[in-house]
Amino acid sequence: MKRAALFALLSYWRHHLFQLAALITGLALATALWSAVQAINAQARTSYAKAEVFLQQADQPSLISTATDLRVADYVALKRAGWQLSPVLEGELSFGSHNIDLIGIDFLTAPHIPGLAQANPSSPDASLLSDMLGSPAG
């Protein structure tokens, strides 16, 4: 009985080759799509974890000048006293009736954030910053 069912199934596909090709192509595309979605979800989970670590840095102590702007001399004095400082500038930009909040972060002095991937010094991406800050090739 099983042999007859297998023979009937194979004979059907032998007579309908286009449907067999469409079935195999559909299964291959579905598998590829499922794999791609799984890879994207894994990357999203990793990105969310890195963002969470970065945002947890906001819980660290900070100095905020309320009376006047923080002067460069004050910043230098605090750095020389051993404080791990990274300036963050905040402001608001107005375009007519639209307001945009701006935040400026100095990435060169930003403290180490545990959990974020460290650049590999031998990779081409790691030397991008030093290439941009170095003297122009010429």
Q: Where are the domains of the chain?
A: 1-59, 60-111
What's the whole-number mean pLDDT along residues 1-15?
85
Q: CB neighbours of 91 closer than 8 A, spacing ≥ 6? A: 101, 102, 104
| Cα separation, 67 vs 93, whole angstroms | 21
Helix boundaries (H) for the chain: 2-15, 17-56, 72-80, 128-133
**The pLDDT of residue 23:** 92
Reported pTM: 0.42
What's the whole-number mean pLDDT along residues 100-114?
73
The pLDDT-based confidence of 116 (bands split at 50, 70, 90) is very low
